[in-house]
């Protein structure tokens, strides 16, 4: 089943198919809340980058990340990690006109999920980021921004 939602600035949120039977009702609710919260970060990035981004969530990776905390089923640290790719894209745009133009041309989709160790790629307009489930000794967030800038 593919989930799609439209929010301000025409940001689309979509997720890969995963059978409903594989998810509890509680997990479905958590996932919907995560989609809503992350859409806000992508919306802000789109506004500051003068473009729109499609947000894709790597739904299967969430199954092992649930820890039952809060309204999203993940703790604040994990939720912060999930929002970081949109924040870093926004930060690159805020550096100047040249950077903003590069982001507008090079990134159309921001795809996030969980991975160990963290992963990142930028191919065919899709920035795909696997964020950690736990805290990292090194700063993967600053490495992500450097990766984005290098890849554009």
Provide the 3-class DSSP secondary structure of residue 129: strand
> In angstroms, rounded to a whole number, what is the distance separating the alpha carbons of residues 152 and 83?
20
CA-based end-to-end distance of the chain: 32
Q: Are 35 and 41 in contact (CB under 8 A)?
A: no
> In angstroms, rounded to a whole number, what is the distance separating the alpha carbons of residues 28 and 51?
30
Could you list the pLDDT tens digit for every one of the 152 residues in the chain? 444 443 333 344 444 455 667 888 888 888 889 999 999 999 999 999 999 999 999 988 988 787 777 777 778 888 889 999 999 999 999 999 999 999 999 999 999 999 988 899 999 999 999 998 877 656 788 899 999 999 99
> In angstroms, rounded to a whole number, what is the distance separating the alpha carbons of residues 25 and 116?
26
């Amino acid at each position: 089943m593919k989930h799609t939602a439209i929010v301000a600035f025409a940001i689309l949120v979509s997720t890969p198919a995963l059978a409903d039977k594989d998810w509890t009702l509680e997990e479905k609710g958590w996932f919907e809340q995560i989609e809503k919260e992350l859409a806000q970060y992508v919306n802000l990035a789109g506004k500051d980058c003068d473009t729109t981004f499609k947000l894709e969530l790597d739904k299967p990776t969430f199954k092992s990340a649930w820890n039952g905390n809060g309204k999203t089923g993940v703790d604040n640290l994990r939720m912060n990690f999930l929002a970081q790719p949109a924040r870093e894209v926004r930060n690159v745009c805020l550096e100047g006109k040249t950077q903003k133009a590069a982001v507008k041309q090079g990134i159309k989709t921001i795809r996030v999920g969980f991975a160990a160790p963290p992963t990142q790629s930028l191919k065919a307009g899709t920035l795909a980021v696997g964020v950690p489930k736990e805290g990292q000794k090194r700063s993967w967030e600053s490495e992500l921004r450097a990766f984005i800038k290098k890849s554009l």
